[in-house]
Chain A
Amino acid sequence: MTISRDHGGTTIGVCDAIVVGAGIVGASCAHALAKAGLAVRIVERDAPARGTSGACEGNLVLWDRTSDPDLALTRVSHRRWAELAEELSAGVGIDIEYARKGSLMVIPESGGIDGARRQCDWLGGQGVRYEWLDAAGVREAEPWLKGAVDGAAYFPDDAQIEPRLATWAQVRAAQRCGATLHAHQPVLDVQSSATGVRVTTGLGVLSADWLVVAAGVWSPEVVRSLHVDVPVRPRKGQIAIIAGSPVQVIHKVMEASYVQTVASDDEQLQVANVVESTRSGSILLGSSREVTVPSDRGVELSVLSRIVARALDFFPDLASAQVIRSYAGLRPMTPDHLPLIGPLREHPRVILATGHEGGGVMGAAATADMVAALIMGAPTPVPPEPYLPTRTLNPAGSHG
């Protein structure tokens, strides 16, 4: 499959595809491509899961999607993660902690029921399973959720994975199919032609037929030398972690207004409650949204304070639990809240795989299948047009 095209000089390697970025998206793409038989090299500036995929949650949730194509890709991914969990456990012995625990979209008494109903009507129309719970039903499903609520929609199929483990597992699986990981090697320069790409790293130059850019919020920097504008901006999110909690959180619990914060184009700080428990016994409290710059990965204490306060509105018994840690991650956001998957207009051998904002863990599995299909010329899991970087980007694409 490899077509050797040495342009002379410092070329140190030739392969079929180079994947830049070993976050959940790049790692998943590398696995899919290597499994399809391509010779793959992963070039990562740091190490796997050190970008946003190591500073997020692992929700595989359907109801926070904001448009038809968004939901379509997510549903494929949702199914694929269940399969991948088994495949990765059997293949590389890593348990990615897949748990189909269901999620609750909680409607606080302070309002939001109309928006929530509209969202559920749309989801139901698309075939997403859910069930309405009244306040008593919520109490029964989630006994520690004691804040005043009007009710909730229960989504039994929603799940979670451990994103760091999943990223590592995808890297290991790619390596088992022959891929090479070049960690601690930032991409310094990218050149492309009609038939291939040349990528400069600290090690030397790699050339390949294809380049997959999965560098999250740093993707614009990676292709800067191509003089293309990749419309991805960082939307920062912070999480607080509780250990030794007296409270049990059974499902994934998110407040209904979360979906509005996802869909909004507001660049200012917004906080919506997301609570999940993990297998290690900790509880994650999220999260915030705020547009920032790619170097801003620090936790801001005033934001952390608001996140915790909001969680206590729903789970008042968490008041006595100890917060032991926090972190911040940068979601790669696009103007229309849809990912960028496919070749660049002027550079047909450069494929973008980024821009999943707050759903990159969820979206990674289907994105990888899509990228592999585009490169191999195979049928794509869903029609690719809505995600192509060549689309016209209208701000705020929204359903209904």
Chain B
Amino acid sequence: MPDLLIVGAGPAGLAAAIQAGELGLDTVVVDENTTAGGQFYRQYPESFQEPASPRDPQRERGRQVISRARRAAEFRLGASVWGIDGPDVWLDQGGEPDLVRSHCTLLATGAHDRPTPFPGWTLPGVITAGAAQTLVKGQAVKPGSRAVVAGSGPFLLTVAAHLVAAGVRVVEVVEAATLHEGLRLLPRTLPYPARYVELSRYLTPLLRHGARFTRGCVVAAAEGRDHVERVELEPLRGGPRRTRSVGVDLLCVGYGFSAPTDLARLAGCSLRWDTGMAQPVPRHDRWQATSVPGLLVAGEACGLGGASVSALEGQIAAIGAARQLARLSDPEAARLARPLWARLRRARGFARVLTDAFPHRLQLAELPTDDTIVCRCQNVRWGTVRKAVEEGAHDLNEVKTSTRCGMGWCQGRICGAALPDLITSRVDPGFDHSAVFTARPPLRPVRASTLARALPRR
């Protein structure tokens, strides 16, 4: 039985694996992706011929981290976790069921783009910024030829730069935050000069490419017959004062990230509110331990922070696990963690600047019309949900019972992240904003034959 099972091989999980190896823990890492690296260190599948140039420094760095981690732990890639029950974690590895029982489990499951419904968001050609990044970075696929990249946060620049590098014409980058908001926070970014270098790496090619930059605007609607043809841009309060239409065949949208908490909730973790992500996330102590004994959490899975925060948290979590397993005494563990805590404070400081510069915007909740689909799996429209809440549904589970919203393939991972804002700002301010859909196994669709062979224990 392994000492530590790490779910997720992104920056957090990889850093944890390396640290756990140094502490002599017997460690297993699982990730549903067939390549390790997570979002930040995304790698090409092994079958790919790496393009000779340009070499991507982030991918390079990721490759080094991955190879160190692979020496420190056993890796099981292409294995998705669909259930957790005390020390038991249930896997689906290409249709083969398996159960891993370990002394400690670390959830390092990361985040994905925050789903933001607006009229036309389900049209073909409208994808999330993260999906665009994955297609370009992970699959070397060019998702369109003429694009608008819209949303909020520095990630837009990253995605836009990657699209340009892949040969997509990026006509405009549309940022919701106003210039004023950005300038106000400028002094707080000065202690982080390295970030300017990072910024210029993305900004320079974009400027050279001739992309237009617009601030204080959002995409109010995407239009087209069977595919997106135009996007309607609309100023937020304080932005430039005109609405205009831009012709595209690709719209990439990303208003920040949200972290699925289904695994943590199924395990029984208590949650806290994270302002950066504007959602509840697992509560943890300074060792990254959750409220459930033996269960730890690190990285974007427990709040907005970015890659360096994630890696530091992963490293600390491995020390925390060794401490829970009594492989390290309290003073030894603290001695190891102290410098990491200091670096974490600094890294979190920068994450907070970004959160303040690109705040979560409730105004986005004004965009959907009654006709806009909110639950893509069951085709439930906003008007139906609005009516259910007006008729007395108090939380998401009640919305679900009366509308089928959240009952489909994704089990509410998408609509569950979007609805609280819509409901509190448009229908019922007293709606239980922190309540989430009840998590039930399987957390991912699992083939019946896999489930049937999932080794009953009694």
Contact = CB atoms under 8 A, between A and B. Distances in A.
Interface string A293-321: 00000011111111011011000001111
Contact of B448 (A299, A300, A318): A318
A65 interface: no
Nearest to A305: B454
A295 B330 CA distance: 37
A183 B411 CA distance: 26
A306 B448 CA distance: 11
A280 interface: yes
Contacts of A242: 448
A312 B451 CA distance: 11
A304 B448 CA distance: 10
Given A47-B398, A243-B408, A322 B445 contact: yes
Contact of A301 (B404, B441, B453): B441
B358 interface: no
A326 B456 contact: no
Interface residues of B, number: 33
A300 B88 CA distance: 12
Chain B's interface: helix, strand, loop or mixed, by majority?
A: loop
Contacts of B456: 302-303, 305-306
B403 to A, nearest CB: 11
Contacts, number: 97
Size bin of chain A's contact surface = 35 or more
A184 interface: yes
Nearest to A244: B409
A136 interface: no
Contacts of A304: 441, 451
B457 A324 contact: no
Contacts of A321: 447-448
A190 to B, nearest CB: 25
A312 B83 contact: no
B393 interface: yes
Contacts of B452: 305, 308-309, 312, 319
B394 interface: yes
B379 to A, nearest CB: 11
Interface in A180-209: 181, 183-184
A104 interface: no
A302 B458 contact: yes
A50 B407 contact: no
B442 interface: yes
B392 A183 contact: yes
Nearest to B95: A320
A319 B408 contact: no
B402 interface: yes
B394 A184 contact: yes
B100 interface: no
A391 interface: no
21 contacts: A47-B393, A50-B401, A168-B401, A240-B451, A243-B409, A243-B445, A280-B404, A301-B83, A302-B458, A305-B453, A306-B456, A308-B452, A318-B448, A319-B447, A323-B442, A323-B445, A324-B442, A324-B445, A325-B407, A325-B411, A326-B441
Given A280-B404, A301-B88, A319-B448, 8 more contacts: A164-B401, A280-B407, A302-B457, A305-B451, A308-B448, A324-B408, A324-B409, A327-B440
